[in-house]
Amino acid sequence: MTQNLNLLHDVTARLAATAEEYDRTAAFPSAGIRAVHEAGLLTATVGEQYGGSGLGVAGTARILHALGEGDPSVALISAMTINVHALQARRPHWPEGLYKRILAESEQGPVLLNHARVEPELGSPARGGLPATTARRTGTGWSISGSKRFVTGAEGLDWFLVWATTDEPEPRVGTFAVPGSAPGIEISSRWDHLGLRASGSHDITFHEVEVPDENLVDVALQGPGAEQDNRALAALHLPLNALYLGVARAAQSYFHRFAHERVPSNLGHPVAGTERFRRAAGEIELLLTAAEQLVLTGAERVDAGDGTYTPEQALGTKVLAARHALTAVETAVRLLGNPGLSRANPLERHYRDIQCAPVHAPQDDIVLLALGKAALSR
């Protein structure tokens, strides 16, 4: 365990060393992705049935907490791949030959995967609805056409997992594995965002991109059963929460450093000795410790698999943990004033990055509606 913790500390430090540069340039964070791959973290959730370690939700949360503390853009790109392997370990649904090929390629270098689901007209599938992106039958497989939004890591993805509706007489909705190098893939709008600037969550258009039949990963008949199931995916939000708590811990570290180094001439000693800074430090620690306990305890209960931890509890944790992380970082920024908003200090970057925490679907209103409905039914 100590060796694993040391490994995570080393990766955090490597990511932190380049995070500011990648944030400033918004370039694809290739050095950070290499660091995650070299540490074996991209494939940590590969199932034991495939020769992997089958890391559970709690272990994944600890990994993403460490990566988020170093560089949340790298962490989010990595999380997409880590989650794909975790889902396959829990419910095998990939064609066996294709998945084995991806695992073999992952031994040689980082292989990045991510779902492409959000669409310009539909928005997030978490609110219901089916894709306008189409998969047309060809003589050898499928031709994919359509537009997707906010595809994290787009420039570096080896595989896009595209959610599309078939053109069959009885339409089906499926996920198609599209190689990132396939002809006909266009970055149609570039990511220019307040936070997670290096995550490269570009808009993508697929122009009749052809894939073989065996690249159909998952499929269901068109209808409610083909829509996104927020309850089934609820546990995946716990590691994502941990990622943003890592961002908040990075902000806390800078806050502490500032408090010990800042010595106003009219005070004569570091502001860390003042009641005002100590009270704020206590509030930040309380918020983050409570959120981490919620996330990690919930993740451990998911791993226990005894059915006592419900999807509603996981979704509720998503809301609370994001709120705690936001409040903690905002508290630090408010106390530092102008220095906290200066680009010369990392706290300004952490403040921008933490704004992305509540954006991940399902958003708060959907979660609260589900929780309220369940509570009233009791």
State the DSSP string of 170-233: S-EEEEEEEETT-TTEEEEE----SS-GGG--EEEEEEEEEEEGGGEEEEEESSGGGS--TTTT
> What is the pLDDT at residue 224?
67
The tens-digit pLDDT sequence of the chain (378 residues) is 344 657 999 999 999 999 999 999 999 999 999 999 999 999 999 999 999 999 999 999 999 999 999 999 999 999 999 999 999 999 999 999 999 999 999 999 999 999 999 999 987 787 878 899 999 999 999 999 999 999 999 999 999 999 999 999 999 999 999 999 999 999 999 999 999 999 999 999 999 999 999 999 998 777 666 667 778 788 999 999 999 999 999 999 999 999 999 999 899 999 999 999 999 999 999 999 999 999 999 999 999 999 999 999 999 999 999 999 999 999 999 999 999 999 999 999 999 999 999 999 888 999 999 899 888 998
CA pair distance 323, 65, nearest whole angstrom: 16
pLDDT at position 1:
39
**Cβ-count burial 37-47 (b if 16+ within 10 Å, e if not):** bebebbbbbbb
Q: How many Cα atoms within 13 Å fall on the side-chain side of residue 89?
A: 23
Contacts of 142 by beta carbon, 8 Å cutoff, 6+ apart: 135, 136, 166, 176, 210, 211, 213, 215, 216
Long-range contacts at 331-337 (CB < 8 A, ≥ 24 apart): 331/280, 331/283, 331/284, 331/287, 332/251, 332/252, 332/254, 332/255, 332/280, 332/284, 335/255, 335/276, 335/277, 335/280, 336/255, 336/258
Confidence at residue 69, expressed as pLDDT on a 0 to 100 scale: 98
Using CA atoms of 258, 67, 60, 130 in order, give the dihedral in degrees to the nearest 10.
110
Q: How many CB atoms within 10 Å of residue 237?
A: 25
Q: Three-state SS string across 312-356, please?
A: HHHHHHHHHHHHHHHHHHHHHHHHHCHHHHCCCCHHHHHHHHHCC
* Residue 212: strand pairing partners: 141
Q: Give the angle 159-164-167 at the CA atoms, nearest 5°.
A: 130
